[in-house]
Amino acid sequence: AAMDFESAFAGVRKTVEATEEEYSELRSEILEMSKELPASAEEISAVAEAAGQLGIQKSSLLSFTRTMIDLGEASNMTSDEAATALARFANITQMDQSQFSNLGSVVTDLGNKLASTESEIVEMGLRLAGAGAQVGMTEDQILSFAGALSSVGIEAEAGGSAFSRVMVQMQLAIEKGNDQLYQFAEVAGMSADQFKRAFKENAAGAIIAFINGLASLDGTGKSAIGVLDEMGLSEIRVRDALLRASG
């Protein structure tokens, strides 16, 4: 057992730059963690090794490892899958690495409350992370949109890219002040200036207002499909993502 652990810990040495004193502390912490968590010291070492490889800072290494082991138990992801996906997500959004425990809590809470699994939420979140961070959305907002879209059966590969395109289109419309800005605002039930201000203050709220506006178009004599066509958002994956979200 000791040899197995030392072999696993060699992987930590390979990916984490530290002094001998720091390695000794890491070894002790991993062994202690194995007494508290339902994972062996070798399994915990493997996650810590991956953490080093994924660019997790030394100060956050143990808390990251503990959170990923917990996610491996509490979700349908393995610890390794959770580590890789959430480290990449944090890199894209430039998240403070001290917040991994909160990030894990958000993923678990959404998985408990929505008709979607944690792995689907995280996969969709990765697709939305770039555009979401660009327009000023927080990590929990990005994952909440990911959970909502996943729960209506939108697949990450197609729907994530499509919904990201909508975010980018909104950002461009606001920067350029073009006709599409007025169209987004009209659907959201705002003036162009109100929508512009709303998007800059809370992009997630402005996107929700637009989606809610699509849902209430039926009573106005217009159809959501027709409006999206006028706005240049008729590409089938974009239209499908927005219609399902508005539903």
For residue 207, what are its two tokens?
């996107």
| pLDDT tops 80 at residue 8 | yes
How is residue 64 written in tokens? 């990251």
- Give 187-236 pLDDT, tens digit per residue: 999 999 999 999 999 999 999 999 999 998 877 778 889 999 999 998 99
- Report the chain's mean pLDDT, rounded to a whole number: 92
The pLDDT confidence band at residue 88, using thresholds 50, 70 and 90, is very high
Look at residue 155 in the predicted model and tell me its pLDDT: 86
37-51 mean pLDDT: 93
The candidate with the shortest Cα–Cα distance to 74, out of 36, 104, 29, 43, is 104
Identify the band that residue 103 occupies on the pLDDT scale cut at 50, 70 and 90: very high
pLDDT of residue 157: 84
Query: What one-character-per-residue DSSP string does 40-106 give?
Result: -HHHHHHHHHHHHHTT--HHHHHHHHHHHHHHHHHSSS-HHHHHHHHHHHHHHHT--GGGHHHHHHH
Q: Which residue has better confidence, 155 or 90?
A: 90
Contact 177, 144 (CB under 8 A): no
The average pLDDT across 48-56 equals 92
pLDDT-based confidence at residue 247 (cuts at 50, 70, 90): confident
> What's residue 70's pLDDT?
94
pLDDT tens sequence across 29-43:
999 999 999 999 999
Q: What is the pLDDT of residues 150-197, one digit of tens each?
A: 998 888 888 888 999 999 999 999 999 889 999 999 999 999 999 999
Arithmetic mean of pLDDT, 140-156: 91
Dist CA 81 CA 126 (whole Å): 13
Structure-block tokens of residue 15: 């990916």
